[in-house]
Amino acid sequence: MFGCQVVIFNESTTTERIILYLHGGAYVNEFTNLHIVFCDNLAKKVNATVFAPIYPLAPNHTYEETYLIVRNLYDLILKFKKPIIIMGDSAGGGLSASFCEYLAGNDMAQPEHLILISPWVDVSMSGDYEKYDELDPMLGVDGLREMGEVWAGDLDSKDYKVSPLFGDMENLPRTTIFVGTHEIFYPDIVKFFNKLNDNGVDVELNIGEGMSHVYPLYPMVPELKEAFKHIVEIIID
């Protein structure tokens, strides 16, 4: 669809809602089995059709192609006239947030809910990460900064289209965020939450004490069950 492979879960006219899921992977890694299992389980639990685009990745591509794909896919989803949730993890979480800022800036309809799992909200990596760099077993600052610059292309890496931390948040939809205290993104996500709150957004921050990056996606983590249950409750509320 729109020049991009799209994985669709629970494709049926009887589903009650639509989820647009944008996968993580630092903008260089593909959709994984973790994403497949998560999206499949979620689609069944909340009676939703989930659209997950396999969007173009860096270093051969930048944000521009993916924005066009996501915009076209969102326009299609709007035609179903069902409640829409935009959701993503890591890089896909950052993309989800920045896309909603893009919608607001262009006076377009917002989704009913924005759900972010460990979102990458500052691809410039301009914060202080010394403490969290030691705690995070998955991510490293220097590599992330380099990948962020490539993804931004000709944009300043602090432009909201790639770094939603620096965007206008005033008109964003109800937002739920999950983050672990043992991940590099933790301080930036707390800043993002505070800015959302200051701008009057209905936002909830769920902090996994001692948890690592995108912990709600890992089935072997006990805390996953509680996080997944909460995500389901939020969506069907």
Ordered domains of the chain (ranges, CATH): 6-236 (3.40.50.1820)
Q: What is the pTM of this model?
A: 0.97
DSSP for the chain, written as a single string = -TTS-EEEES--TT-SEEEEEE--STTTS---HHHHHHHHHHHHHTTEEEEEE----TTT--HHHHHHHHHHHHHHHHTT-S-EEEEEETHHHHHHHHHHHHHHHTTPPPPSEEEEES----TT--S--HHHHHH-SS--HHHHHHHHHHHHTTS-TTSTTT-GGGS--TT--EEEEEEETTSTTHHHHHHHHHHHHHTT--EEEEEETT--TTGGG-TT-HHHHHHHHHHHHHHH-
Per-residue pLDDT of the chain (237 residues; tens, 9 = 90+): 999 999 999 999 999 999 999 999 999 999 999 999 999 999 999 999 999 999 999 999 999 999 999 999 999 999 999 999 999 999 999 999 999 999 999 999 999 999 999 999 999 999 999 888 888 888 899 999 999 999 999 999 999 999 999 999 999 999 999 999 999 999 999 999 999 999 999 999 999 999 999 999 987 778 778 899 999 999 998
